[in-house]
Amino acid sequence: GAVVSQHPSRVICKSGTSVKIECRSLDFQATTMFWYRQFPKQSLMLMATSNEGSKATYEQGVEKDKFLINHASLTLSTLTVTSAHPEDSSFYICSASGQLHTEAFFGQGTRLTVV
């Protein structure tokens, strides 16, 4: 199957700082990438959908100025959590799929802790 790599796997940052999470498709061109947030023992909540070369589409209730998503190439999407606060602490997961894929492939996830 196709491989999606997400980095970092864990990050701790101070309140007020920004942190960037990368999501890379290693062996296919990801025309669409998705970013999710997951709280412990809960489901994945879709935050936004990004298509290469265009602005991300955010789900209702997700602050686009806080969660900046960039999909500059067919193999890389980034999520930047700006001015992070403790309530942003969570598990963030990306997924990607190419034009010929029916399923989405997931990164390993990033555990963000804001102190």
Partner 1 sequence: AQTVTQSQPEMSVQEAETVTLSCTYDTSESDYYLFWYKQPPSRQMILVIRQEAYKQQNATENRFSVNFQKAAKSFSLKISDSQLGDAAMYFCAYRGEGNKLVFGAGTILRVKS
Which parts of this chain interact with partner 1 (CB under 8 A)? 1, 32, 34, 38, 41-44, 46, 49, 91, 93, 95, 97, 102-104, 106, 108-109
Which residues have a Cβ under 8 Å from the Cβ of 7 and sit 6 or more positions away?
A: 21, 22, 24, 110
Which pairing describes strands 19-25 and 90-97: parallel, antiparallel, or unpaired?
unpaired
Q: How far is the CB of 38 from partner 1 (least distance, A)?
A: 8
Q: How far is the CB of 16 from partner 1 (least distance, A)?
A: 27
Q: How far is the CB of 83 from partner 1 (least distance, A)?
A: 26
Question: Residue 24: which of 92, 94, 81 has the closest Cα?
Answer: 94
- Dihedral angle over CA of 112, 104, 44, 115, nearest 10: 0
CB nearer partner 1, residue 13 or residue 104: 104
CB nearer partner 1, residue 35 or residue 78: 35
CB nearer partner 1, residue 51 or residue 82: 51
Half-sphere exposure of 3 (CA within 13 A, CB side): 3
CB nearer partner 1, residue 82 or residue 98: 98
